[in-house]
Amino acid sequence: MSQINVTRSSMPTFEEYCEEIKELWDSRWLTNMGAKHKQLEANLLEYLHADHVKLYVNGHLALENILAGMSLPKGGEVITTPFTFASTTHAIVRSGLVPVMCDINPQNYTIDVNQIEELITDKTVAIVPVHVYGNLCDVERIDEIAKKHGLKIIYDAAHAFAVKYNGVSSAMFGDASMFSFHATKVFHSIEGGAVFYRDDSLGKKLDELKNFGLAGQETVAWVGGNAKMNEFAAAMGICNLRHLDGEIEKRRKVFERYHKNLDGVQGLKLAQVQEGVQPNYAYYPVVFDGYKYNRDQVFEMLKGANIVARKYFYPLVNSFDCYKEYAFYGSEKTPVAKYISDRVLTLPMYADLCETDVDRICEIILGKSTAD
């Protein structure tokens, strides 16, 4: 049996992509905010009904750029969670800021809003919550807390492209939101990322920061890096955006098939759609809690059948070796995150995953088959 991976990139037809990139052979303008880059920005603003966007070579540098763009004072504390991809914490640390780890809630694995205020000190400058698996954080409560304490909110929305809450796009919450357009994401530009932001006056600085800090041909205003999205990536984004609604609809069917097979099984906590949220079905996390097999056993059973699931997010960021010397090190300080991290497995999830394969995966999990 051929391998089933945890994810598989959506792609336009070869012909559609070739048509999109054709004019690059005439223009010979391959990067540095060319026509495709501008077109993708415009299309994204229209699709998400958002106000301001900047595109990046990836989501990670988008996050670093927005942290720099907001001129947060070096050494400032940033409240965030350890149940995330390495990128979130790395971006904070690499920006000269100090992560302060807040635990997550056990319902949807996003930041526990009831624990944020006790972590605020006179050094706190921002909150960087993560919309884990595309589950939205409690954006209203976070907004209240940030306003009360004068803090910036920058969402790591890497997983949450096209998710809406009460009809409002996830791009519109907080002061800014970072999205990843990595090939494994619901919407992608091969590699890529974006920042959606509220304050129009940030735009110029963000443009400069991603282009070595250049403010003109003879002026260098910032110690910037290189984080520009190239034209081929933007063209892939333009094509993929045309088909995104259809791809999300296909994901919904996969999600529902998993639910049909696994719902009601004792000891399994399945992915849930939140109230008021229009989801993007980015991931299908299952928490194995008191089930006849533990997470690691299920992982191995699937692996034995050539099916790749992912312990996502395990290990927790606050147990990474590179953070041993940091004050936030220690997964025991965030017990809910640790509990979930030890038990969660994200199952294969992509638009083209067929019903038969979902059924086969579920049969293995249920111990009905060792399929080969």
Ligand X SMILES: Cc1ncc(COP(=O)(O)O)c(C=O)c1O
Q: Which residues make up the interface to ligand X (CB under 6 A)? A: 58-60, 84-85, 87-88, 130, 156, 158-159, 180, 182, 193
Our CB check for ligand X shows the closer of 45 and 183 to be: 183
CB count within 10 Å of CB 321 equals 7
Closer to ligand X at the Cβ: 229 or 365?
Answer: 229
What minimum distance in Å lies between the beta carbon of 292 and ligand X? Answer: 30
CA–CA separation, 235 vs 166, rounded Å? 31
The CA-CA-CA angle for residues 322, 323, 324, to 5°, reads 100
Rg (CA), the chain: 21
* Comparison of 195 and 301: residue with beta carbon closer to ligand X: 195
- Is the CB of 277 or the CB of 317 nearer to ligand X? 317
Least distance (Å) between residue 184 CB and ligand X = 7
User: If DSSP states are collapsed to H, E and C, what string results for 111-163?
Assistant: ECHHHCHHHCCCCEEEEECECHHHCCCCHHHHHHHHHHHCCEEEEECCCCCCC
Specify the length of the chain in residues: 372
Residue 291 CA, chain-centre distance (Å), reads 28
Inter-CA distances, 271 with 90, 274, 308, 361, Å = 27, 10, 18, 16
By beta carbon distance, the residue nearest ligand X is 59
Q: At what angle do helices 14-21 and 231-262 cross, to 10 degrees?
A: 150
Smallest gap from residue 229 Cβ to ligand X (A): 11
Q: Which is nearer to ligand X, 60 or 295 (CB)?
A: 60
Least CB distance from residue 356 to ligand X, whole Å?
28
- If the CB atoms of residues 317 and 364 are measured against ligand X, the closer one turns out to be 317
Q: Give the residue carrying structure tokens 């609604």.
A: 245
Taking the least distance from each CB to ligand X, the nearer of 58 and 124 is 58
DSSP 42-75: HHHHHHHT-S-EEEESSHHHHHHHHHHHTTPPTT
* CA–CA dist 211, 333 (Å, integer): 39
Whole-angstrom Cα distance, residue 186 to residue 110? Answer: 19
Distance CA 280, CA 116 (A): 27
Which residue's CB is nearer to ligand X, number 87 or number 334?
87
Minimum distance from residue 209 beta carbon to ligand X (Å): 16
Q: How far is the CB of 305 from ligand X (least distance, A)?
A: 26
Q: Minimal distance in Å, beta carbon 279 to ligand X?
A: 16
**Shortest distance in whole angstroms from residue 63 CB to ligand X:** 6
